[in-house]
């Protein structure tokens, strides 16, 4: 079995169990439904970090994804979103060496 098939199958099983538990009222899944789209930012950035190491682009994308998750999961974080994001991106640019093209 290919690794990609294993990951996709595992994700679908996890989602199926999650929706089943939400339907039964065992747990609430609305926090995930509000923030699932952030995975389209985080997963490619994590994959790039694994394959290419820490680079400015994947770290900035990861910071944006984490910031968006914080806003969704912790609404009290919303007023600080822009200041945190700008500070994180500035630190990444300052600390991570630029790629030589």
Over residues 43-86, the pLDDT tens digits come to 888 888 888 888 888 888 888 888 888 887 888 888 888 888 88
Does residue 100 belong to any structural domain of this protein? Answer: no
As a whole number, the mean pLDDT across the chain is 80
Total tally of structural domains belonging to the chain? 1
Does residue 34 belong to any structural domain of this protein? Answer: yes
In percent, how much of the chain has pLDDT > 90?
A: 0
What is the pTM assigned to this prediction? 0.62
pLDDT at residue 101 above 80? no
Q: How far apart are CA 84 and CA 90, in angstroms?
A: 10
pLDDT at residue 23 above 70? yes
Does residue 87 belong to any structural domain of this protein? Answer: yes
What Rg do the C-alpha atoms of the chain give, in angstroms?
A: 17
Parent domain of 18? 3-95
Please report the pLDDT score of residue 100 as a whole number: 47
Residues in contact with 84: Cβ distance below 8 Å, sequence separation at least 6, in sequence order: 67, 70, 77
**Token duo for residue 46:** 């994590």
Q: How far apart are CA 78 and CA 48, in angstroms?
A: 28
Does residue 56 belong to any structural domain of this protein? Answer: yes
């Amino acid at each position: 079995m290919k690794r990609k098939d294993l990951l996709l199958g595992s994700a679908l099983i996890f989602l199926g169990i999650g929706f089943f538990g939400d339907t039964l009222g065992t747990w609430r899944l609305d926090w995930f439904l509000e923030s699932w789209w952030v995975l389209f930012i985080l997963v490619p950035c994590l994959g790039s970090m694994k394959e290419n190491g820490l680079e400015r682009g994947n770290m900035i994308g990861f910071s944006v994804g984490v910031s968006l998750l914080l806003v969704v999961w912790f609404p009290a974080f919303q007023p600080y979103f822009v200041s945190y994001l700008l500070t994180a991106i500035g630190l990444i640019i300052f600390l991570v060496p630029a790629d030589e093209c």
